[in-house]
Structure 1
Amino acid sequence: MPDFLTYRLALILPRPRALLVASIDGVFVLPQISISRWERVAQQLTRSIQENWGLGAILLDVVDEDCPDTPCAVVEVRNSLLSYSASLAAVDLDEINGQALKLTEREVIRSLLNGRNIGRGPFSRIGWLEDVQDWIRQCVTDQATYFDENVRQLNASGSFALVRFPMHAGPAYWLKATGTPNIHELYITVCLAQISPSFLPPLLGVRTEWNAWITQEAGYPLDDVPTLSNFKTAVRSLAELQMETLNCTDMLTRAGALDHCVPVLRSRVDQVMNYLMAVMPRQTSTRAPRLEEHRLRQLGIILRDAFDRLEALEIPDTLIHNDLNPGNILLDGCRCRFTDWAEAYVGNPFLSLQLFLVIAEKRAPNHEGEFWRKQLSEAYCDMWSKLLNGSQIARACSLIPLLSVYSCLHGRGDWFGSERSKTPPFEAYARCLARHMDRAAQSPEFLGALCR
């Protein structure tokens, strides 16, 4: 798969309702931009449009049903008619060559120009940005709101949005909206804002018809200053948040958090191992050895034993954040706030610790990864020592490296029997995690835990 993808740009002028196009040999065509597949589409497109043509822009939709190799990005131009680049011309939709737009693309663009909603989501329309700014004004009642023009759009589609609204004075505000399959993130966020408001950015407003919410900016991402001290603050804050939610697991699961409690994960071991036995023979790479069927069967037995031992420790279930990358952790003074709760689970708290340690180790300076891992593990365990004894903590820490990999592979569990599970990328991902489980099951710490 190539690292770059080319987008054709339908640049819509709101007034007059026209399109900005390029001209090649007298034929009007959509301008094009190539961007990385591995970075945020909306952020790259809006930045490239600004750099290439001096246009402020908001991505409204991406139409890729008819042409997935060169999708059409539908963009609202934020500049006045007099300020767009001389290399572009404003034309009516019907002036664009019939081959330049596929049928679905033309239908979507025409509906946007005519102000019609064809069911592609609340953000697939001209003018939604102004509606959000009006909404923020209604939410912010303690100060005047003067918006800076440098709006930053990070995520976009007809039903998804992630946009930062800077102000001339005071804190910035964020819009987030989610569609399928992450609709539940709104309800988990609202639930957590009620249970533990000091661990989330301040929630100012909710609009259920958009499945959207407004928050006030709180702190800066951990990735901006990835020091050991800041990572310690984050892991302590994580433990505090988990302890605050100990008695709220039923509320969280009703809100949409997935159940990763021991009985649920253990009940799927046979299904997971059968899947791995089916896909392991399809490995074509020779960079890592295949796991033989007899070893996968052994891993299934080991996993069930490890889950039994973890359950016997009687560590209470609580909140798990299964997407703890440093961009989702905001430093706010002496504590951290956590965002992006689409991957919220309920289960053993030490599952979150292991995920956090893996990410932190990658951010550590050269040759300090193991030192960081030890320091952060001690900081987290010290917090939990208020509720658990030393034996519970030590045994959990020995068992969790294996079980956390299994938890990651299980994920939402929606891949079982799905078409996605049959795709080569997912099969490769599953084989990779199987090898991680195999290594974790052979570690001295884990083997020692099985002997106790």
Structure 2
Amino acid sequence: MTRTVTLVLVDPAGRLLGALPPYEVPTPWWQEVDAVVCGAPVEVAVLRLLSGVSDRPGIGGAVSYLAEVAAPPAVPLRPVDLELPPHPLRAPYAEPGGPAATVGWATAALDRLGRPAKEVAQRRTWNLSAIWRLDGPHGPVWLKQVPGFFRHEAAVLRRLGAVTPGLVPPLLAADDDGRMLLDHVPGEDRYGADPAERDAIAADQHALQVRALPLTDELVAAGVPDLRGAALARWIRAALAPHHAEAVLDGLEERLAQARRCGVPDTLVHGDLHPGNVRSDGDRRVIIDWGDSFVGHPAFDILVLTIGLPPDASDALVAAWCARWRADVPGCEPERAVELLRPVAALRAAAVYAAFLAGIEPSERVYHDADVPHWLAQAATLLGRG
């Protein structure tokens, strides 16, 4: 599957210049822009999505982006009648001048570290992150900038890097605007990992969560969301208030109270622990993308890790997870906690996407519009209220 891409160009001051002719790119995912940049007839920095039309939003179809050029290009441009008003929820990296400012921060930081960058390539931009790869004589480095609701990721990586070295990407630098420099992690993202590999990921995460137990208050003080017990219920209700979810929220607080009485301790939760958020070179695994992390019940991670598995494999993965917690916390009841939290995990997922929708500008909401009703329907089924 491919995309048909149209780039609407602006200069660094944000003045509209016109549009390039549409062209095909070989990768379908709208947020991936490396092929978009490479396929353009002029040097561009992609700022943000303008529109997309596809049978599967976010994948394939016809997509238009706003892109910045340093000067009017020497290629014909099509006139465009388009308003480009400011928006209070727009990410800094989606504004003209934003990518240059972020790359400038990164190259200066790498110079101070003695790791100068010789080549810079934009790889991704959307409402959840912008990512560049910077290459130099000391190897590749990844530059990532995230919106405000993910800015605790750097604090998580900094603290985990001290207590679980090798399990998370090395953080080289970070600032208060959501920018991070991450050392390269060799290997590939483990989408499609089989049950055995998922169990190894679960074991890695368990070890990390046990080591993070003494850090919970420190992590919360550093800005990591505190979603322990009743705080999770309050957050879910607030996030889902615009989505008329009252029918599936009845009894939420009592369900969380019962799960708490099962005795599995609250710790750092990754929040989106699917295999694609793990990189491996065959020798070691590194857990990446901690923007969804929070302090809360560790069962939420194992429930994400089972998604897509057949029932027998899912049950075996959960059983192994339960055995680890029983061994480390004698007397706890992890099996009961998991069953109590299954529908809450679906509600939490719906609330996550609802929070995204509330925190991003309208043109970007196409990525997440279908996710809230999907997860609310999942929760209703698990609660027997579908």
Q: Given the alignment of the two structures, is residue 90 of structure 1 paired with residue 74 of structure 2, yes or no?
A: yes
SS in 2 for 1:246: helix
- The correspondence for 2:273, drawn from 293, 317, 324, is 324
- The corresponding residue for 1:74 is 68
- The correspondence for 2:295, drawn from 307, 325, 346, is 346
Q: Given the alignment of the two structures, is residue 258 of structure 1 paired with residue 219 of structure 2, yes or no?
A: no
**What's the TM-score once normalised by structure 1's chain length?**
0.64
- The corresponding residue for 1:43 is 34
CA contact 1:64–1:71 (8 Å) conserved in 2 = yes
Distance in 2 (alpha carbons) for counterparts of 1:159 and 1:389: 39
- The corresponding residue for 2:151 is 183
1:211 positional shift = 3.4
- The corresponding residue for 2:56 is none
1:174 positional shift = 0.9
Instruction: Could you tell me which runs of 5 or more consecutive residues in structure 2 were left unpaired when the two chains were aligned.
Output: 52-62, 87-91
Q: Given the alignment of the two structures, is residue 337 of structure 1 paired with residue 279 of structure 2, yes or no?
A: no
1:354 positional shift = 0.4
Distance 1:236 1:272, change over 3 A: same
Distance in 1 (alpha carbons) for counterparts of 2:329 and 2:199: 20
Distance 1:320 1:180, change over 3 A: same
Report which of the two structures shows the higher radius of gyration computed on alpha carbons.
1
1:420 positional shift = 9.4
CA contact 2:269–2:301 (8 Å) conserved in 1 = yes
Instruction: Could you tell me which runs of 5 or more consecutive residues in structure 1 were left unpaired when the two chains were aligned.
Output: 15-20, 22-27, 78-87, 108-116, 280-292, 362-368, 444-452
- The correspondence for 1:214, drawn from 168, 173, 181, is 181
Deviations, residues 370-409 of structure 1 (Å, cap 9, x unaligned): 3431332233233323322466122112222122112222
- The corresponding residue for 2:106 is 132
Deviations, residues 130-184 of structure 1 (Å, cap 9, x unaligned): 763453243246xxx684x5x542224799531123456x642111122344333
Distance in 1 (alpha carbons) for counterparts of 2:270 and 2:172: 22
SS in 1 for 2:328: coil
Match for 2:213: what amino acid? L
Greater length-normalized contact order (CA 8 Å, ≥ 6 residues apart):
2
- The corresponding residue for 2:130 is 161
Distance in 2 (alpha carbons) for counterparts of 1:197 and 1:173: 18
- The correspondence for 2:376, drawn from 417, 429, 434, is 434
CA contact 1:319–1:345 (8 Å) conserved in 2 = yes
Q: Given the alignment of the two structures, is residue 240 of structure 1 paired with residue 234 of structure 2, yes or no?
A: no
SS in 1 for 2:213: coil
Aligned residues: 362
1:309 positional shift = 1.4
Q: Given the alignment of the two structures, is residue 31 of structure 1 paired with residue 17 of structure 2, yes or no?
A: no
CA contact 1:59–1:156 (8 Å) conserved in 2 = no
Distance in 2 (alpha carbons) for counterparts of 1:121 and 1:411: 28
Q: Given the alignment of the two structures, is residue 409 of structure 1 paired with residue 350 of structure 2, yes or no?
A: yes
Distance 1:42 1:396, change over 3 A: same
Distance in 1 (alpha carbons) for counterparts of 2:82 and 2:144: 30
Match for 1:32: what amino acid? P
1:249 positional shift = 1.4
**What's the TM-score once normalised by structure 2's chain length?**
0.74
Distance 1:33 1:188, change over 3 A: farther
